[in-house]
Structure 1
Amino acid sequence: MASRGYEPAGVTLDRIGTALDMLDIRYLSDGDGNLLAMWERHAVLFTMEGPEDEILVIRARPHATVAFEFADRAYRAVNEWNHLHRFAKAYVGDPTLRGELPIYAETQVPLRAGAHDALVVELVDCGAAVATAFVEWLHSEAALL
């Protein structure tokens, strides 16, 4: 990674990509430089947002969606996740073109002051692990997907 001694450095998608490489997480890059890692049951988007691209966003989305008639159950499930867990917030997305509801888990970390390499790796690793736990929870305990 971009080692600068003990000084925090600006967080960029290049540094996120290096962290993903260090963690042996395969990913693709879209035309805007956003990074997308794919697992069997979900995908995780790593991007920088905010007026100065200073906010690390880790957004997980299960491949499965929820039928619109189960919207109440979906809202209750994500509310339960938010009540029980602290790292990623969960929410129900807008209906797809097929009228189904996507479910998301998202973490946003403001990093305007920069971060040490170890923290970047830890945030990426934690984001990927929580995404997997969230999707597994949706399939098992929440019985939503």
Structure 2
Amino acid sequence: MGRRPAPAMGAGTSPLEWAVAALGAALLVAAVGYLGWHGWTREAGPPDLTIEEVSRGTGQGGHRVAVRVRNVGREAAAQAVIGGELMEEGGQVAEDAETILDYVAIGSSREAWLVFTEDPAGYALRLRVKGMARP
């Protein structure tokens, strides 16, 4: 029997390529497994939106109050109506404004602006979620 010829350079798969392929497959299996486990074990529940003031500014359209809305709940929220009220000392509402966020995913945050004609600096600002829907 004769000797086999040596493989040409670049022919076949090197051990490094096999190691990288195995690492990629392991990461893929781990990611799919985690997502499946997370989806299977996550408890159902409604969206839970929190609002915080981020900044204030003035523009051509009036006085803007930037707010950050976070969904800390277990379901996404759609058509979330975010309201702000400028409150006088006696508890009367001097002015209100609202905006609508089309979609707030689970664990995400969105920024929006409430626009007032009055300067919010002279009032107490009350922020609240007025309503939302299931996507």
Q: With structure 2 as the length reference, what TM-score do the two structures score?
A: 0.24
| Higher RCO (CA-CA < 8 Å; seq separation 6+) | 1
- Give the strand-richer structure, 1 or 2: 2
Q: With structure 1 as the length reference, what TM-score do the two structures score?
A: 0.23
